[in-house]
Structure 1
Amino acid sequence: MVPSATGTHDTTAQPNPDISKCPYHSGSASKDFDPFEMDYQLNPGEACAWARENEPIFYSEKLGYWVVTRFEDVQEVFRDQSTYSASVALEKLTPATPEAQAILEAKGYGMRRTLVNEDEPAHTARRRALAGPFDVAHLKGEEAMVRELVTDYIDRFADKGRADLVNNLLWEVPLTVAFHFLGVPEHDMDMLRRYSVAHTVNTWGRPSPEQQKDIAENVGNFWNLAGDILAELRETPEAPGWMPYSIRAQKEQPEVVTDSYLHSIMMAGIVAAHETTAHSASNAIKLLLENRSVWDELVRKPELIPNAIEECLRLSGGVAAWRRITTKPTVLGGQRLDEGERLLIVSAAANRDPRHFSDPDTIDLYRDNSTDHLTFGFGSHQCLGKNLARLELQVILQELTSRFPSMRLVDQEFEFVPNTSFRGPEHLWVQWDADTGKEDTTGTTPELPDIVFNGPSKELRTRTMFVKEVRQLTAHIVGISLVPDGGTLPSWQPGAHVEIDAGDVSRRYSLCGSSSEAWEIAVALEPDGRGGSRWIHENVAEGATVRIRGPRQNFVVDVDVDRRILIAGGIGITPILALADDAKSRGIDYTIHYCGPTREKLAYLDRLRTDHGEHLVLHVSDEGTRLHLPGIVEEFREGTQVCTCGPDRLTAAVLDVFSSWPEGTVTRESFQSTSSVDVSLNEPFEVTINSTAKVLTVPKEQTLLEVLETSGFDVDADCREGLCGTCVLGVTGETPDDIDHRDDVLSVREKQSGAVIMPCVSRSCAGKPLTLDL
């Protein structure tokens, strides 16, 4: 299908990244985009940077697909299965030649549906029927097997000083783990590698007519091998492994787990259980060795390996893109799409979207939202084996960093199997110093950290920082400058905040400094608060250490506007100051309205006068210059955004007075919940855990978060008031009317999507059941 003749696209100007790094910067990604070129194979996220910022959804003439590159749009496609069908996920990108098709037919090739290319309601029913062995409790028992395999393979080359990690470790270990997990007898490694490559190129590649014949032979043989293995396993259905488990599930639910389905997942399972993990491991090691300081940090602090893995999956995962097809006319990211349009959703590009990830091209071992990456997919189509992959990747990196601290890349040309979706180097040559590599037999080797599932915990995402300086800004406000305990700090967007452990509580403070070497916050003493600000005023002094998470970006700021009206009250000046600094640096029009009872209580007043004097308007109560919002409302023009922070009375008034302005043009930051719901009006409701089909009841007097925690689910949560965004969870299959959103974090679009919920405060509407993406 060709693009709709009526298709329109929002062409609002976007910030341009360094186009020298992007092969698609001629001004028309639709003509230049070619995912089979080496730029895309080496780094699809970077290769799509220009397109993501300038043509985020474009039609590729070479592919015949719409290409989707922004995080919010890719996530929406994953979420909305009723509009974007997964049925084409395994469709041949390059149509088979008659000769290749004849070969496949002669071999009886009949792969149809697997978990990745089916829609609801069949998908969730089958996923639930087959999910048992992927439970974390079961996977914990696999660590010893994985570690024994990894150490055995490493021992074979440890004394050589040089190795191709793909051939010597990273291909065969995940494949052997896959055999074990599936319950399949081991088979010829080289043959299965050839079959897997053929399957990848057959599905996502652009083989020549001559290549197609050889590929068809291998794919057909792979299909028949899968059938033979399945027949063999049927003889011992009580044996361990996912495939015997699936055979038993067929007996219980024959209408869900059919014969043809078992054959398809037998073949797909061998590929899915090992190829993506092998690619992700080789991509991760390559990326870490290219960022030497990060590798060295992992050698010193192996407990940060789970953090590094999420960053590597985000920046250089083994899966770069998936495909979907529209089931009806729709609008995605401002682009109108007809029914039957094919989409290539490039998660590798979305994973570097600066709208969602601060400093997106940098490895930040303490990134607060690293697990938001889309390499494992999203929603009900999130990878069922994600935690098995995490287990393998952690063991591999633990062993390599502990035994080969001096490991480094050999100068080499990297080669990839050209395709749109599965990516990893065919070879990864490394070398190391001769005195490393052998296991320490003295008994002094430190114990390796526990394996972490479902991403790094809150504790692992907490960085220690030193207090460089404390300044008294006003009688009740201190400014605090913070520097890292080693390493560098990630950059942050204006409006971002950090969370600080302040005694027994955690508190959020906006970043307001302009230095790249230190972070600055300002803390107002609140005598009637819950003790966080008091603890900071009493305990934080020059030279002290503090524990910090972030930066996070809950302040919904449009970086593309050409005019800002900034309204601050009291300590609310902190994010507003950062927004003003940014506006000045970009040369856009801006005005700062700063409100307070007296000049003596206005923090940063001298700096504001020095840096923003002609843009600053003071509204001081004891001088009779109070803020008059109706007069500012009349200043509306296209390209303007109002940003406000301060006491709830002020920010609520801004939202009310500016309610006539278009959606998205008025935004506020709030550190105090505005939700005031009568708990007695709550209704109980049920939630289903998507991965296990477990059903929980949420009583009227408890929050969803509390029920999840008491049921054994480790949900990261901080403020518990719907303010910080930490505990956000995905929901599947719901409509916006099913969720009663009571938070102050989610955007209007996120609430309208029905895809996420803040379980600390939000509930279902009228007792409707919900399904959580856990």
Structure 2
Amino acid sequence: MVRVTPSASGDGSTVAGCPARYDETLGYWVVDDPALAREVLLDPQTFRPDNAVLAHTPLSVKALRVLSGVGFALPPTLANNAGESHRPIRAAVARFFSPARVAAAEPLARELNDSRVAVAMKALADGQQVDLVQAIAAEPPALVVLHLLGLTDVDVPALKAWSLDSLELFWGWPDEDRQLELAHSAAEFYAWLRARTTAARKAPGDDLFGVLVSLGLTDEEVCAVGYFLLIAGQETTTQLISTAFQRCLDDPGTTVEQVLQEASSVPTWRRITAEPTTLADVELPAGAPILLGLTGHGGPPDLAFGIGIHRCLGAALARMETQVALNCAQHLLITVHLAEPPPMIDLLSFRAPARLLVAPRHKAP
């Protein structure tokens, strides 16, 4: 989870056990109690999602110039939308993730995982070390979500790189030089989204871009949906699978539900108060940024996906893909051990092993 410094109230005094405590280092009111997090998520008018996808580290002038060069814009569409347009956009996207479509995608997920596990097992049998993140967890979620969204001719390695860079840009602590690198990557991704949107307007189809164009959305709205859907729809699942693998290396009996409850890849999420309000016995001013703890605080596993009108549309898909990955890699995971402490993706709202380098266990003589 995010490391929280000693908390303080609005007047700077330390507050122990406060249901909403202000963290001066993070710049957020931190809410870890699952019941209160649920209360916040179920009241999107008081606790608005306007800051859900804002850059945690303010963007530099140079980074903003790079983004503006491609017309980069993220108007309210899904995660950051509490307006009237949210419902029709969400309904259109939700159809791609219906229970029937998710169930129908399971054989594809299994095939993709089985083939990658087989390659990894052969490499391990030859005495090589294997990174379970890149070898197994990275690509299947992207290939599955692209299949569900009807998108073809996508450079998956590029999508994975764009996704990681954008997560760091919006939820990390990059300095100005790193921010500029990340902005160039985000601009490249956004230009690709613009091109797909333009193509959909010329020849509308039944894929994601065709459906969004048919709703009458602007180019900026279509790109905004595509930008975060193509990241959240696969990279967070890769990270959830990676965390599940890491946990299973220590405890082979680890379940998907345990991972979701204790260490989901999306441990926190943001909200901002629309007006002065009271949360439990804490008075919050208007415009107070809130950081909600979704996992690791004794709440139900399902809270990892949020609740209410902004609940993750891919919750069932992420569960299915993580379970399939664990099933396919079950034998592999009990025959290897970590070759090094895993470096971590450690952002404001995303946490997972960046690499899981494993080596074969030596059999006792």
Tell me the distance in 1 between the aligned counterparts of 2:293 and 2:183.
27
Q: Which residue matches 1:417?
A: 345
Pick from 313, 319, 322 the counterpart of residue 393 of structure 1.
Answer: 322
Distance 1:417 1:84, change over 3 A: same
Matched AA of 2:7: A
Deviations 1:148-193 (A, max 9, x none): 2111222222212242111111111112222222222243343323
Q: Which has the higher helix share?
A: 2
Which of residues 154, 159, 183 in structure 1 aligns to 2:117?
154
Change (3 A) 1:186 1:173: farther
Aligned counterparts of 2:38 and 2:21: Cα–Cα separation in 1? 17
Q: Deviations over 1:128-155 (max 9, x none)?
A: 2332121111222112222221112222
Provide the residue aligned with 1:318 in structure 2: 265
Q: After the TM superposition, which residues 12-411 of structure 1 pair with which residues of structure 2 at under 5 Å, given as runs?
A: 28-30=6-8, 54-161=17-124, 162-234=129-201, 237-239=204-206, 241-244=207-210, 246-247=211-212, 250-251=213-214, 253-254=215-216, 257-292=217-252, 294=253, 308-349=255-296, 352-353=297-298, 370-371=300-301, 373-401=302-330, 403-404=331-332, 406-411=334-339
The CA deviation at 1:386 is 0.9
Secondary structure at the aligned position of 2:72 is classed as coil
Residue identity in the other structure for 1:85: R
Q: CA-to-partner distance for each residue in 1:301-339, whole Å, 9 max, x for gaps?
A: xxxxxxx21221111111011111101111112110011
Q: Distance in 2 between the 1:92 and 1:429 partners?
A: 31
Distance (whole Å) between structure 2 residues aligned to residue 70 and residue 52 of structure 1: 15
1:233 Cα shift? 4.2
Letter in 2 for 1:320: P
Where does the alignment leave 5 or more consecutive residues of structure 1 unmatched?
A: 1-20, 32-50, 296-307, 357-369, 436-774
- Higher mean C-alpha displacement, 404-413 vs 106-115: 404-413
In 1: Cα distance, 2:153 partner to 2:290 partner: 37
**What is the aligned-residue RMSD (CA, Å)?**
2.6
Q: Deviation of residue 404 (structure 1)?
A: 2.5
- The number of residue pairs the alignment matches comes to 355
The answer for unaligned runs of 5 or more in structure 2 is none
Q: Is the 8 A contact 1:88 1:324 kept in 2?
A: yes
Measure, in 2, the Cα distance between the counterparts of 1:119 and 1:374: 20
For residues 16 and 136 of structure 2, what CA distance do their matches in structure 1 show? 38
In 2, distance between residues paired with 1:237 and 1:407?
A: 49
Q: How far did residue 121 of structure 1 move?
A: 2.9
SS in 1 for 2:22: strand
Tell me, what secondary structure is at the counterpart of 1:131? Answer: helix
Secondary structure of the 1:344 match is: strand
Q: Distance in 2 between matches of 1:409 and 1:52?
A: 42
* 1:395 Cα deviation after fit: 1.3
SS in 1 for 2:341: coil
Counterparts of 1:237 and 1:433, CA distance in 2: 53
Report Cα offsets for 1:418-449 as digits up to 9, x if no partner: 310012111012344699xxxxxxxxxxxxxx
Which position in structure 2 is the counterpart of 1:503? none
What is the CA distance between 1:397 and its match in structure 2?
1.1
Q: Which has the higher strand share?
A: 1
- Does the 8 Å CA contact 1:111/1:264 hold for their aligned counterparts? yes
TM-score by length of 2: 0.89
What letter is aligned with 2:23?
A: S
Would the aligned equivalents of 1:147 and 1:395 in 2 still touch at CA under 8 Å?
yes
The 1:281/1:340 distance shift into structure 2, 3 A limit, reads same
Highest RCO, 1 vs 2 (Cα 8 Å, sep ≥ 6) = 2
Give distance in 1, aligned partners of 2:204 and 2:67: 29
Matches within 5 A, 1:759-770: none
**Identity over the aligned pairs, expressed in percent?**
27
Change (3 A) 1:430 1:233: farther
TM-score (norm 1): 0.43
